[in-house]
A = this chain, B = another copy of it.
Amino acid sequence: MAHENYDLAALKARLGGIRTEDNPALVRQKSRDFYWYSPTLKRQLDAVNGDIVAFPTSEEEVLSILAACFALSIPVTPRGAGTGNYGQAMPLAGGLVLDLSGLDKVLEIAPGRVRAQAGAILADIDEACAASGQELRLHPSTYRTASIGGFIAGGSGGVGSITWGGLRDLGNIVSLRIATMEANPRMLHLTGEEVQKASHAYGTNGIILEVEMPLAPAYGWIEAIIGFADFGEAAAYANALGEQDAILKKLISVIAAPIPQDYFLRHRKYLPDGMHVVLAMVAPVAGAAFESFTNRWGGQMLFRSDLLGPEEAKGLPPLYELAWNHTTLRALRVDPSITYLQTLYPFPDQLALVERIHAELGDEAPAHLEFVRFDGKVTCFGLPLVRFTSEQRLEEIIARHEAMGIPVFNPHRYTLEEGGMKQTDAVQLAFKREADPAGLLNPGKMIAWEQADFDFDTGRTYLFAGLERHAAGSGV
């Protein structure tokens, strides 16, 4: 339902030739993402809806839309492919959803870098780069559907992070071209550490129109699954493989039994009962070294993509679609009551912490680790599945992690701060003052803007006032 305050008729008149849609089913579809991963977010955000969707196909059209919405005080929530899973792309205050999927051109490819429009799909960028033997350093496991702009604005890292760290690391985003939300929108060019003003800001302080990203060599990565009878051994092997500086790799995940057996249906025949598995993507040139290394550890090579016949390979998803958040997705497909957490096991205690939490919670929250480089060291994130019973129990599980010294990036929160460092990001807040002075971009996602005195230490969940009004208004 439309938010009575927004003058949509005036908006449409102003937008003239730009394609918009207010068909309710379509608007509803474009107002959601994978927020339903979280039972908490599902409860909170199920009724969220924008009022209209715009589909610009050029920078000029984006600027016209921003100017029009600014003039009419209509909120704008940018959207790439809508695969975020914290409700990042959901228009909490209604208004216009700015679908950027029409800005999908790959503009320039050079040794070590690519420039593309924000709506370009990650896999499409790599396809364009393939002729030069290059590919993006990093991608989320939603590689085949997600946009580069959405990744930068809403994601954090993924496949490739074992070598390159995350998006937060200086150098993983070369530069951004950003449109401000003002009467006369400006184009800003951010480079060096300035990109951090707008990256992982959920589009609250500027619309990313163009990105420049570093490239790495594209190899036909070997996909491997290695089995261990003992979970601790699997984790220790994965950590040690991560520390092999000369074995180039793109993915190292550890997944405790019985997750792989229960949920990796298309790979099921490679996964003996009870085996804990490590998923790895390794450069072909390191094949023999990788094999020697795995033998030293007594790992059992359960699957190697380079040894499959073409018939056998058919019908298998790429290995990275068993990893990162896809592990959760596969579990959810089999058992809709599953949810998950995101944790960090700080170096150098990662293996001890993993063992401790797994010993305590392994049945209720079976382990899933993603090894990465983090501040120059190899350590792991946790994305444990959680057999959900209640929000209260989920909070208890989070509290147990934190008590052990395992920070939790709460995926059951829709704000930047609560999903992240639980504190104001002064740089991003300052940039919002400059680039979105009226606070019209993706309202409700940056607590520091909405409620400057919010006290993170209370542990209370922030509730965006606009959302409550809206939920009340829509009768949910």
Residues of A in contact with B (beta carbons under 8 Å apart): 111-113, 132-133, 137, 163-165, 169-172, 174-175, 191-194, 214-217, 219, 240, 242-248, 283-286, 288-293, 296, 348, 373-378
Contacts and interface: CB of A to CB of B under 8 A. Distances in A.
Contact of A245 (B169, B246, B283, B296): B169
Contact of A171 (B163, B169, B170, B246): B246
23 contacts: A112-B217, A112-B219, A112-B284, A112-B285, A113-B285, A133-B133, A137-B246, A169-B244, A169-B245, A170-B246, A170-B247, A170-B289, A170-B293, A171-B289, A171-B290, A172-B246, A174-B285, A175-B288, A194-B292, A217-B217, A245-B374, A245-B376, A348-B348
A288 B191 contact: yes
Contact of A375 (B113, B169, B243): B243
Report how many copies the assembly holds. Answer: 2
Nearest to A132: B133
B285 A246 contact: no
Contacts of A112: 217, 219, 283-285
A162 to B, nearest CB: 10
A286 B275 CA distance: 41
A296 B245 CA distance: 28
Contacts of A137: 246
A116 to B, nearest CB: 15
A96 to B, nearest CB: 33
Contacts of A373: 245
A289 B245 contact: no
Contacts of A175: 288
**What are the 9 closest A-B residue pairs judged by CB atoms, nearest first?**
A243-B376, A165-B245, A171-B246, A193-B292, A192-B292, A169-B246, A192-B288, A171-B289, A172-B246
A174 B246 contact: no
Given A112-B217, A283-B112, A376-B378, A192 B289 contact: yes
Given A217-B217, A246-B164, A288 B111 contact: no
Contacts of A288: 174-175, 191-192
A202 to B, nearest CB: 21
Nearest to A284: B112
A102 B377 CA distance: 43
A286 B284 CA distance: 26
A376 B170 contact: no
